Amino acid sequence: MFWKSESNTQKFSHPSLIKQLTLMFGSMVFILLSLTAILLYVVLAHNLNYNDAKDAKHELTLIANMLSNNLSNPMALEQEIILEPLTMKKQKYYCRIVSEQGIVTYETPGMTEQFSLGVFPSVNPKTKISKAIFFKASNHRHYVLKSQIATGEDGKRYQIQLAYDTLQHYTSLRKYRLMLFIIILTSFIVCPLLCLVIAKRGLAPLQNLTDAIEKIHVKNLNCPIPVEHWPTELLKLVTAFNDLMVRLEKSFKQLSQFSADLAHELRTPVHSLINQLEITLSKPRTTEEYNSVLLSSLEECTNLGQLIDRLLFLARTENPTTAIEKVDINAATEIANICDFFEAAAEEKHVTFSCEGETIIHADRILFQRALSNLISNALKYTPSGGKIFIKTYSENKKTIIEVQDSGCGISAEHLNNIFDRFYRAEFARSKQTGGHGLGLAIVKNIMDLHGGSVEVTSVVNQGSTFKLIFPG
């Protein structure tokens, strides 16, 4: 079975949890890092563009004020528009003043080659200033273009066109883009590796748990996995697994005990049959002797048949998927019918039945009859001559209870926890004398489990026992 499981594991490729976690977390980290980088770039570009537009507006306002106050002093305008841009180490702006007739009054040298009149944005009539636009000139430098309407000292309207150089900020953005590209490319390689290391370290306890489980064999089912040093997420799994191993060990012991008991139960009648037949065949016998041997063999075969029937019935009731057909049953009527069935045997032993109560039980009729019959049969076997068997039914706490009480020999306390186990006998010799194989009470318990109920027992030695079948409401 273990070899088959191993071959199936090798045959089918299973997805690696480490690979899945690495791919998932690596992708998430990479995407978040990329989005963060892009967001930072957008914010930085917006702030730089805003500052450039603000500086261009400030320069426009300065020239507009000079135009309004110093138009009669052309030297001041020439200084601001023509001479100052040329004397800067790096020419920061170009400026042009155009009259209403479209005549260029003042212009920074070289501006015509870079910027025609039509490339500048239109002025908003209300605010008398245009929006800023960004433009790449023929000299491959980047500028922010703005226009403004100003009234000169002579009362005439002029349009001021300004091209403000943004090369420094554009260069900074380009370097920043390159740096972000390198960071994103590096993170594309590094993130999966880091996530792989983290996933392996995070799943290491799971591998340790797997190794611990692989060390468990049939011979050490009673050796639980230590619960110390496990992460919180795995502690519940380890505890549940240890509980499973306890149940498995108990089931394994029960199965081993069941196999041993079954072998013993079958060996005795089989050996008896073999011995009888060997003795019979050892010498010629009369017809009466052969008839006697055949009758004895038939009795043993009948016992074997009964044992097999009970084992098959027990196996069916132990299956939790067994379908049962529940109907409403008049408990008093069923009790009376079963007592009538055992009436002849009770009269032979001088045992009397007494019934009491009226209830309705929702149960499988056949299984209910089987469970109650087993209890009454046991009570009848172990109740001495002149004894009484009292059967009553009643409801309590939304549950329906069938109680079978006898005045028999009782069961000692050390046996009460085991009497519902298969083949268990409180007193082996007594059980052999009264017949049976130790399966009746095990069948009763399985039937009650199928109904979602329970069976309870109390007993006092030499006074009798009381069995309760408790059905859910």
What does the pLDDT look like over 37-48, one tens digit per residue? Answer: 889 889 998 898
- pLDDT confidence bin for 198, thresholds 50/70/90: confident
Mean pLDDT of 123-131: 88
Higher pLDDT, 348 or 91: 348
Residue 265 in this model has a pLDDT that exceeds 70: no
Judged on CB neighbours under 10 Å (0-12, 13-18, 19+), 358 is: exposed
**pLDDT at residue 433 is higher than 60:** no
What is the per-residue pLDDT across 377-424, written as a single tens digit (0 to 9) for each? 889 988 998 899 999 999 988 899 999 999 888 888 888 888 887 777
Token pair of 311 as six digits:
């084992």
Please check the confidence at residue 20 and state whether its pLDDT lies above 60.
Answer: yes
pLDDT at 426: 62
At residue 218, does pLDDT exceed 80?
no
Cα–Cα distance, 344 to 351 (Å, whole number): 10
State the Cα–Cα distance between residues 457 and 364, nearest whole angstrom.
Answer: 22
**Best-predicted range by mean pLDDT (212-226, 250-264, 288-302):** 288-302
The answer to whether 402 and 391 are in contact (CB under 8 A) is yes
Distance CA 206, CA 301 (A): 55
Residue 216, phi then psi, degrees to nearest 5: -85, 130
Q: Higher confidence at residue 72 or residue 212?
A: 212
Beta bridge partners of 452: none
> Are the beta carbons of 349 and 388 closer than 8 angstroms?
no
User: Is the confidence at residue 35, as pLDDT, over 50?
Assistant: yes
243: its two tokens:
């509980």
Reported confidence tier of residue 14, pLDDT bands at 50, 70, 90: low
Q: In what order do the strands lie in the sheet with 454-460?
A: 352-356, 388-396, 399-406, 464-472, 454-460
State yes or no: pLDDT of 434 exceeds 60.
Answer: no
* pLDDT for 73 beyond 80: no
- Conformational region of residue 229, where left means phi above 0, alpha means psi within -120 to 50, and beta covers everything else: left
- Residue 99: pLDDT band (50, 70, 90) is confident
pLDDT at 375: 92
Where are the extended beta strands (E) located within 291-412? 326-330, 352-356, 360-364, 388-396, 399-406
In the chain, what percentage of residues exceed pLDDT 70? 88
Question: 388-396 and 454-460: which strand pairing?
Answer: unpaired
pLDDT digits (tens, 9 = 90+) for 171-196: 888 888 899 888 888 888 888 888 88
In the predicted model, is pLDDT for residue 83 greater than 80?
no
Residue 269: count of CB within 10 angstroms of its CB: 17
Q: What percent of the chain has pLDDT over 90?
A: 12
> Which residues partner with 107 through β-bridges?
96
At 344, is the secondary structure helix, strand, or coil? helix
- Tell whether the model's pLDDT for residue 347 goes beyond 70: yes
Comparing CA positions, the residue from 427, 414, 442, 456 lying closest to residue 258 is 442
**For the chain, what is the mean pLDDT?**
81
pLDDT class for 332, splitting at 50, 70, 90? very high
The per-residue pLDDT for 43 is: 92
pLDDT of residue 359: 92
Name the pTM for this structure. Answer: 0.50
Is residue 10 over pLDDT 60?
no
Start-to-end C-alpha separation, the chain: 44
* The two three-digit tokens of residue 434, written as one number: 């009264």
What lies within 8 Å, CB to CB, of 443 at 6+ separation is 310, 313, 314, 317, 370, 371, 374
320 or 151: which leads in pLDDT? 151
SS3 state of residue 466: strand
Note whether 353 and 391 are within 8 A (CB): yes
* Confidence grade of residue 430 (pLDDT, cut at 50, 70, 90): very low
- pLDDT at residue 321 tops 70: no
**Look-up: residue for tokens 């639980």?**
224
pLDDT at 290: 78
For the segment 239-260, the average pLDDT, to the nearest whole number, is 78
* Across 35-49, 52-66, 215-229, 403-417, least confident range: 215-229
Domains of the chain (ranges; CATH) run 36-173 (3.30.450.20), 232-315 (1.10.287), 323-472 (3.30.565.10)
